[in-house]
Structure 1
Amino acid sequence: MIRPRRSRFRHATPALRAAGALAALAAPALAHAGEAAAPLIGAVRPGSEDGVLAVELILLNSEGQARAVEVPARLPVTLTLGGERRSLTLECSPDAAAPQVEAGGFARRECLLRLPEGVSAQDSALLSLGGDLAGSSYAFALPAAPAAPAPAQMAGGAEEPPALAAAPAPAAKPDDGNAFLGNLSAYSPIYAVYGPGTNSDGRIQISFKYQLFGDAGDVGGNAPIINGLHFAYTQRLLWDLGAESSPFRNVDYMPEIFYLQPAVEVAPRLALGGQIGFRHESNGRDGAASRSANTIYVQPIATMKSGDLSISLAPRLFFYVGDREDNPDIRRYRGNTGLFAEIGRDEGFRLTANSRFNFSTGKGSVDAELSYPLDRIVDTPLNLYLFGQAFAGYGENLLDYNRQQTRLRFGFAIVR
C-alpha cells in the first residue's frame, strides 16, 4: 500500500548497512590519463575535529602497469541519512603527491568530510561517491562526539589541561556481511491488536519492502529509473484467541512487486507520486478453505501539507488476473476500485483508512486505523504507538471474502 512517506520505526535507529568493497569495483576511474585506478570508499572514521569525518579512499589499478593517480582537491559525495540525501563535498589535500599505484595493486588516500549542522550522533548513514565517480558506497554509524571533560583546577586557580585518553577513537564501522540491509524498510503498518467476542479477536500484521536496485533511498529525481523497482511482503494473521487451543482463523500472505515514484512537489504544499504493481494474495490452505487472488493495480497519490499537518489521498484501480477458481465471485464483494486516505501529524494523531467498493453491487469495505505515540502520553523510552483498528464490510480476510463483518480492536504498533 502506497504511503505519503516512508513508514518508520518510532525513534528506532535503522540497522547498520555494510557496503563491501567489492560492490564498487566497477566504479569509474579518478582523473588521470589511462583510467586505470578506480576509487572505493574503504573506511570512515572520526576526524580530528568535531563534525568532521576522515574518509579513506582506496585507489585500485587493474591494468598491467603502474599508474600515478591524481586525486582532485574536491570530490562530490552524497550522504544519505534516514532516507534524506544530501550533496556534500569531500576535501582532499591539493598538496599531496599523486600516489603511484602498482599494476594490480592499490593505494590509500585520506580526505575530510564536514558534516552538515543538525546531524545526530549514532545515526546510521550511507556515503556515496558522486559525479563521474558514482558507484562506490559505504554504510556506517556516525560516531558519538566525545564529551568534553571539566577542566581541573591547579593550585593558584590555573587550569590544568586534561589528560588525553589512551583508548583509540571508536571506528565508524559497518555490519559485516549484510551489504544490502539498508534497502530493507517497513511497508504497511506493523502492529498487534485485540478485540474480544468474535472468531478473529486478535489481528497481527507484519510488512516490509525491499529496494531491488541502487543505493538505499536513491529513488526518483536523477536516480536510475530501475531503482524504483521494489519487492514487498505483507502477512496478516487473524487469531481466534477465545477458542480452545486458540487457533488462527486465517493467515493471508501478500507478496507483491511494484514500481514506486516518490512524491514530488508540484506546487506549494502539494506533492504527487504513485506506484504500479502486481500483487498475489493467498491463505496457504487447500480444499474448500483455499483462497487466492492476483491483481494488477495502479495508485497515484496526492499529499497536501498545512504546517505539520499532512493530508493524503490515493485512489486505487485494480484488475484481477489469472485463475480465481477458489473464489470466482470475489470481484462481487471487492470490486475494482479503492481509496487510501490519511490525515495526521508525524508526532501526533494519525487516522488512516483503506476502502474497497463495487459500484454495481454496492458491496465493499472500510479498514481504518488510528494511532498516537505512546511517549506523548506517558514518560517512557518504549518505542510504540497506541493503535486502534476497525473494519466494516465484506472480507476482512480472504477466507471470509463473502462474509459481512464488523470488528473493533486495540493494541500497539511499531510502524504506522
Structure 2
Amino acid sequence: MSHNLRSAPRRTLPIVTASAMLSLTAALAPTIARADINLVPPGRTIDPAVPFRLSLMVTGEAESRSYALPEVLRVNLTPDLGAVARVELRRETPVPDQINLRQGEFRRIDYVGEVPPNLRGRVRVDAVDMDAPAMLVQLSTPREAAVAEPMLPPAGSGERPAQADAAATPDRAPATVLTVRSDNDPNRQDEGRLSFYEPMFFVAGAGVDANAQIQLSFKLRLYEPADKNSRRFLDNLYFAYTQAAFWDLTADSKPFLDTNYMPSFFYYVPNTDWRVGGNAVGIAAGYEHESNGKDGSESRSIDTLFVRPYFTFGDTSDFYWTFSPKLYAYIEKSENPDIQKYRGYGDFRFTYGKNDDWQTAWVLRKGTKSSAFSSDLQFTYPLNKFLPGLSGYLMAQYFTGYGESLLNYNQREPWSVRVGYAISR
C-alpha cells in the first residue's frame, strides 16, 4: 500500500463510490467533529486510459476542528463474469494528513488509483474497508474521431485551406453530440455481458390445452471490446438461449405438453448510425435453431437465418412506440416441411408504453396459408407501482391462432388467457 501510483504512466480509473459519503465520515472525524462529505461523480461511462480523480468535498458542520484524511482507499473491482481485482486509491491532492475547517468552510481532495488493463465493460466497485453500498461503472475507451483531410486550394489561388479557417474561427469547431438516455424504469439496468433477451415470465390461466407458460431467455456478449460502442463484427457477437415450456395444470399429472429450446448466435448492435424519427435504429442478424427435444412422430425442429431491425418512434422518456420485425429464411425444416404455411417468414413485434409505466406488446405471425395466422398480445405493469422496491411486472397474455408451441404448429388454438409475473418484458 506504500507504492507511488504516480511513479509510472499507467492507466487510471475514476473510482467514485458515491455511497462512501457515509462511511468516510468516520475517517474524517476522529474526534467529535462533524463534516459533510460529498463526492463529485463522473459519468457512468469512464475512459480507463484517461486519468481521473475522485473529488472528495469536505464541508465543516461545526466549530473550527481538525479532520484526518485517509491516505489510501481500497476498492474491489468486479467485472461481469470476471475475477475480482483489488485497487488502491491514493490521495493525490497535496494537503496534510489533517486539515482545519471552520463551520461552512469546505475543501476538495482528489484520489487516484490504477486499474488492471484487462478490465473492460461494466464493473462493480466495492469499498473494502467501508460499510458502503457498491456502484457500477462502465469502462470504455471511446473511438477517436476521424480527422478530415484539409482541402487544398488550387495552386496560385491565394486561398487558405478550409482547416486553417476552422482553426481560426472558434464557432466552427467540431460539435460534440450528446445523447440523452431514458432509464427511469427501476426494472431496467445498464446491460452487462449477460443480460435479458426475449421476455421472461410465468403465466397461467384458461385455454384449450396449455393453460400455463414459462419462458426463460438471456443473451451473452462473447467478447468485451475496449470500446463498448464498437461496431466491429467480433466485438458484437452474442450467444442467446430461450426456452419456452407449455404446461397443463388441470391434468392429473400436470404434464408439460411441449418445451421449445432456442439457442442462437448473432451479431447485434443496439445503436447504428441510421436514425428514424430522431431515434437510432438497432440491428441483429444471425442463426437460430429451434426444437422440442422429442423423437419419433413428435419431433420438431427448424434452423433459420434471421435479420431483425429495431425501430423506435417518439420520446423514450414518455409513452412511445417500437417496431422490431424478425425476418427469417429456413435452412432446415425436414421434420416439419410445411411449417411456413402456418408460421410464415417473420415475427412482427409492436410495443407501446412507457419505461416506468404500463406497456403492451403485440406479436403477429402470418403463414402462407390464407387462414393461418397467430396473435400474441401481452400487457405488463411495473409491480413497484403497487409496492416500491418490488421488481418485475404484473403480466396478462392473450393468444389465438397457430403455432404457439412447435409441436402443434399446424393446429389452431382458439384462445388462451393467462395472468402472471414477468421478470423482463
**Same fold (TM > 0.5):** yes
- The answer on 1:253 being equivalent to 2:261 is yes
3-state SS of 1:136 partner: coil
**Contact 1:92 1:112 (8 Å CA) reproduced:** no
Question: Matches of residues 374-393 of structure 1 in structure 2 within 5 Å?
Answer: 374-376=383-385, 378-379=386-387, 381-393=389-401
Give, as a single letter, the amino acid of the residue that structure 2 aligns with 1:388. A
* Residues 14-33 of structure 1, C-alpha deviations (whole Å, 9 max, x = no match): xxxxxxxxxxxxxxxx997x
User: 1:237 & 1:363 partners in 2: Cα distance?
Assistant: 23
Q: Give the C-alpha shift of residue 43 in structure 1.
A: 8.4
Question: Matches of residues 268-287 of structure 1 in structure 2 within 5 Å?
Answer: 269-287=278-296
User: 1:86 & 1:187 partners in 2: Cα distance?
Assistant: 28
* Residues 99-121 of structure 1, C-alpha deviations (whole Å, 9 max, x = no match): xxxxxxxx9773779xxxxxxxx
Residue equivalent to 2:39 = 51
Question: Matches of residues 352-363 of structure 1 in structure 2 within 5 Å?
Answer: 352-359=361-368, 361-363=370-372
Residue equivalent to 1:399 = 407
% identical aligned pairs: 31
User: 2:114 & 2:376 partners in 1: Cα distance?
Assistant: 41
Of the candidates 94, 103, 110, which is equivalent to residue 90 of structure 2? 110
Scaled by the length of structure 1, what TM-score is found? 0.61
3-state SS of 1:319 partner: strand
Q: Give the C-alpha shift of residue 229 in structure 1.
A: 0.8
Q: Give the C-alpha shift of residue 397 in structure 1.
A: 0.4
Of the candidates 115, 134, 139, which is equivalent to residue 123 of structure 2? 139
Give, as a single letter, the amino acid of the residue that structure 1 aligns with 2:210. S
Give, as a single letter, the amino acid of the residue that structure 2 aligns with 1:187. Y
User: 1:249 & 1:128 partners in 2: Cα distance?
Assistant: 55
3-state SS of 1:227 partner: helix
3-state SS of 2:395 partner: strand
**Contact 1:78 1:87 (8 Å CA) reproduced:** no
Question: Matches of residues 78-93 of structure 1 in structure 2 within 5 Å?
Answer: 79-80=44-45, 90-91=52-53
Q: Give the C-alpha shift of residue 388 in structure 1.
A: 0.8
Residue equivalent to 1:169 = 130
- 1:390–1:263 CA distance, 2 compared to 1 (3 A): farther
* Residues 175-204 of structure 1, C-alpha deviations (whole Å, 9 max, x = no match): 9xxxxx941111111111111343211111
- 1:223–1:261 CA distance, 2 compared to 1 (3 A): closer
User: 2:241 & 2:292 partners in 1: Cα distance?
Assistant: 14
3-state SS of 1:90 partner: coil
Q: Give the C-alpha shift of residue 277 in structure 1.
A: 1.3
**Contact 1:79 1:128 (8 Å CA) reproduced:** no
Residue equivalent to 1:3 = none
Q: Give the C-alpha shift of residue 304 in structure 1.
A: 1.1
Q: Give the C-alpha shift of residue 91 in structure 1.
A: 3.1
* Residues 353-411 of structure 1, C-alpha deviations (whole Å, 9 max, x = no match): 122223454422122211111232x3354323110112111110001010001211111
RMSD: 3.9
User: 1:197 & 1:316 partners in 2: Cα distance?
Assistant: 27
Residue equivalent to 2:300 = 291
**Contact 2:342 2:369 (8 Å CA) reproduced:** no
Q: Give the C-alpha shift of residue 314 in structure 1.
A: 2.0
Question: Matches of residues 187-206 of structure 1 in structure 2 within 5 Å?
Answer: 187-206=197-216
Give, as a single letter, the amino acid of the residue that structure 2 aligns with 1:250. D
User: 1:86 & 1:366 partners in 2: Cα distance?
Assistant: 47
Give, as a single letter, the amino acid of the residue that structure 2 aligns with 1:278. Y
**Contact 2:300 2:406 (8 Å CA) reproduced:** yes
Q: Give the C-alpha shift of residue 289 in structure 1.
A: 1.0
Question: Matches of residues 329-368 of structure 1 in structure 2 within 5 Å?
Answer: 329-359=338-368, 361-368=370-377
| Range moving further from structure 2, 280-289 or 190-199 | 190-199
3-state SS of 1:348 partner: coil
Residue equivalent to 1:120 = none
Residue equivalent to 2:103 = none
- 1:383–1:139 CA distance, 2 compared to 1 (3 A): same
Give, as a single letter, the amino acid of the residue that structure 1 aligns with 2:131. P
Larger gyration radius, structure 1 or structure 2: 2
Q: Give the C-alpha shift of residue 263 in structure 1.
A: 2.9
**Contact 1:299 1:315 (8 Å CA) reproduced:** yes
Of the candidates 317, 321, 325, which is equivalent to residue 311 of structure 1? 321
Residue equivalent to 1:152 = none
Residue equivalent to 2:60 = none
**Contact 1:191 1:204 (8 Å CA) reproduced:** yes
**Contact 1:355 1:366 (8 Å CA) reproduced:** yes
User: 1:381 & 1:78 partners in 2: Cα distance?
Assistant: 25
Give, as a single letter, the amino acid of the residue that structure 1 aligns with 2:119. S
- 1:80–1:92 CA distance, 2 compared to 1 (3 A): closer
Q: Give the C-alpha shift of residue 39 in structure 1.
A: 4.7
Give, as a single letter, the amino acid of the residue that structure 1 aligns with 2:405. N
User: 1:219 & 1:281 partners in 2: Cα distance?
Assistant: 30
Q: Give the C-alpha shift of residue 173 in structure 1.
A: 7.4
Question: What 5-or-longer segments of structure 2 have no aligned partner?
Answer: 1-5, 25-36, 56-86, 94-112, 137-190
Residue equivalent to 2:3 = none
**Contact 2:281 2:310 (8 Å CA) reproduced:** yes
Give, as a single letter, the amino acid of the residue that structure 1 aligns with 2:341. R
